[in-house]
Structure formats: C-alpha cells, structure tokens
C-alpha cells in the first residue's frame, strides 16, 4: 500500500477561536494515528486570522504529547523567518522529548506579507540565503566537532530528518543536490508538480540521510458518504481561496450551497485551478482518485490536506482516505 500522511493548518473556523482549533488539531492527529497515517504535519503561517499554527514548534509538541506513534512535524517551518540555530534548538528539543517521531520540513517562502516579515525581524534577502541556511541547519544537527564555537543544545548529534518543501522548481533542485526528501505543495499550487518531481528524481545525489530519491505530494481531500456532500465540504476552502485573493482572509467559513450563485465565474475558476488535484467524492471515487494520482506521479508517499469546516466530518474524511489507501498497491 502507499504510505499516507496528513497536513493540518489548525484552521480557526467562523464562530470559534484558536483554542478550539488547536484542540481539534490534536484530536485529528489522534484519529490519524488510529487510522494508520504515517505523519501529521503542521504549517507555519503568520498574521492569518484563520490559522492557529503560527507557533509551529509549540503546536508540534502539543500534538506529539497527545499521540504515541505517528510522526509529527512541520510542513513547514519557513526558514527565512528564523535563525537556523533557533530552529535546531527547537527541533532538537522536540526530538529529545519524542525520539524518532519528529520531522522538520523546510519552506523557502516567508509565508506572510512584507510588513509581517519586518515584525518577525527578518529581511527580504533572507529568502536568497535559503540554501546556505539549510546547510547551516544540517551542521547543527551533526555531532559537535572539537572546538566548535556554536552548538545546538539540544540538537547536536540527533540527525533530525530534514525535508525540503516547494511549489516550484527551486526546492526540487536543492533537495536533489543535498540528497534530501522532497514534498511538493500540489494542494494549493499544482502547476509545476510533474516538472518538479522529474527534476528532483533526475538530479538526485545520495547523501548521508537518503540513498535514493523520496518524494511526497500533497493533495486536497474531500471525502464523504456521497459526492454531493463531499463537494459541499469543499465549498469552505473555495470560499477561503477567493477571500484570500480578494484581500479579505479570515476564519474558515461554513459550507455554502450553490456556491456558483455567490461568486463570479472568474473567481471560481481561479479556485478550481488551485484545487485541481483535489480528490473529491464518495469512498469509491476517493479510492479511484488517489490511485490515479499515485500512478500518474509515481510518488513514494501521499499527503492529504482536509481543510473542512465541521471537525466531525473532517475525522470521517480522513477515515475514508485511510481505507482507500490501504486498498491501493504501491506503484511499480
């Protein structure tokens, strides 16, 4: 079967708050663990009133404490926002508390606007330093050398597994050059999916961490008892995409019947383009959709993003996907 994982943004839903969002995230991770999911990742976003995972390392610790087996990590830490030493210390602490269970996925984008970047005390050229920062971070996780002036404690010698994340070709090339696993963000930016995967595989160089290419891709997931219900669930994230493009982001909104009558054709088309890799439908349709995606891409692992307003329906969604993945043979 294909290994399957879950990406969570700790969504703050309309009429609720950050506390409930974080409680829901841990509940979702616990259910994912029961269902056999490989990983549960959380994403860093700042100045977003609909996302509660800004302090990503803190939330990872909270989720890891509430689970026993599933790997918990970042999808990702936006490295331009942080000094590599501090990331090494944070994830070294997590890896010390939860051995063999912590992943560190790294993104190159700041994940926010320029004003928030300044509030984070980071600078626009931080993005350009990303390759150097990744290598510096790798250095801190290795065993300390005699006379090493700066050490990550906790962190050194723990070899916390790094992943590079991306929605374009840059991180695919860097992951290949450094011999790191690669995860593509096709759940919101699918345009370069196949090109990035091909580039990563063709240019991969073995490393101490990884002997052969290992790639994962994220897809939106909307599964329910019927296709019509699944499409209704997806209307929440369609509204979110449209609100973001209008410059009016906010909490995740309830599903909307007849969404076509509420937004322009152009807005709905843009949302559909961003979500075009989504797997939507009843259990049979979901299994067919996942199988087709895995066969087309040849990925080693699939990661779902089930951004759904009703927490109970989100739990059922990931159960349906787990059963579907268990029934799918790994390609090749």
Q: Report residue 3 CA to chain centroid gap.
A: 15
Q: Are strands 162-166 and 215-223 parallel, antiparallel or unpaired?
A: unpaired
Q: Is residue 137 part of a domain?
A: yes
Hunting for tokens 């307003």 — which residue is that? 309
Total domain count, the chain: 1
Contact 10, 24 (CB under 8 A): yes
Q: Is residue 300 part of a domain?
A: yes
Q: Is residue 331 part of a domain?
A: no
Q: Is residue 162 part of a domain?
A: yes
Q: How many CB atoms lie within 10 A of CB 62?
A: 17
Q: Is residue 120 part of a domain?
A: yes
Cα distances (Å, whole numbers) of residue 310 to 239, 272, 306, 314, 332:
15, 21, 11, 6, 37
Range of the domain at 92: 4-326
* CATH number of the CATH domain containing 80: 3.20.20.30
Walk along the chain (332 residues) and give the pLDDT tens digit of each residue: 899 999 999 999 999 999 999 999 999 999 999 999 999 999 999 999 999 999 999 999 999 999 999 999 999 999 999 999 999 999 999 999 999 999 999 999 765 666 766 777 666 565 679 999 999 999 999 999 999 999 999 999 998 999 999 999 999 999 999 999 999 999 999 999 999 999 999 999 999 999 999 999 999 999 999 999 999 999 999 999 999 999 899 999 999 999 999 999 999 999 999 999 999 999 999 999 999 999 999 999 999 999 999 999 999 999 999 999 999 865 44
Supply 203's token pair.
């240019």
d(CA 320, CA 332) in angstroms, rounded, equals 24
């Amino acid at each position: 079967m294909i290994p399957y994982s879950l990406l969570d943004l700790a969504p703050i839903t309309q009429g609720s708050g950050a506390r409930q969002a974080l409680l829901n995230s841990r509940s979702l991770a616990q259910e994912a663990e029961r269902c056999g999911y490989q990983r549960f990742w959380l994403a860093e976003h700042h100045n977003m009133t609909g996302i509660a995972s800004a302090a990503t390392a803190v939330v990872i610790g909270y989720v890891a404490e509430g689970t026993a087996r599933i790997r918990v990590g970042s999808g990702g830490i936006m490295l331009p926002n942080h000094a590599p030493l501090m990331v090494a210390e944070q994830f070294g602490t997590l890896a010390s508390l939860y051995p063999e269970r912590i992943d560190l996925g790294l993104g190159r984008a700041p994940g926010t606007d320029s004003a928030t970047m300044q509030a984070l005390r980071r600078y626009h050229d931080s993005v350009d330093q990303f390759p150097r920062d990744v290598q510096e971070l790798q250095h801190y996780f290795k065993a300390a050398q005699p006379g090493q002036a700066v050490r990550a404690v906790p962190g050194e010698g723990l070899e916390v597994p790094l992943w590079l994340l991306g929605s374009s070709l840059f991180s695919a090339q860097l992951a290949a050059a450094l011999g790191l696993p690669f995860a593509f963000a096709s759940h919101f930016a699918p345009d370069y999916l196949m090109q990035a995967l091909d580039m990563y595989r063709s240019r991969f160089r073995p490393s101490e961490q990884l002997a052969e290419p290992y790639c994962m891709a994220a897809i939106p997931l909307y599964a329910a008892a019927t296709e019509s219900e699944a499409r209704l669930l997806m209307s929440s994230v369609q509204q979110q995409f449209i609100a973001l493009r209008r410059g009016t982001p906010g909490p995740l909104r309830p599903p909307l019947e007849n969404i076509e009558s509420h937004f322009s054709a152009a807005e709905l088309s843009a949302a559909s383009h961003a979500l075009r890799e989504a797997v939507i439908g009843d259990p049979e349709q979901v299994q067919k959709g996942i199988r087709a995606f895995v066969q087309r891409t040849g990925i080693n692992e699939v990661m779902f993003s089930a951004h759904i307003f009703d927490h109970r329906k989100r739990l059922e969604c990931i159960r349906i996907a787990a059963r579907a993945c268990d029934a799918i043979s790994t390609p090749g």
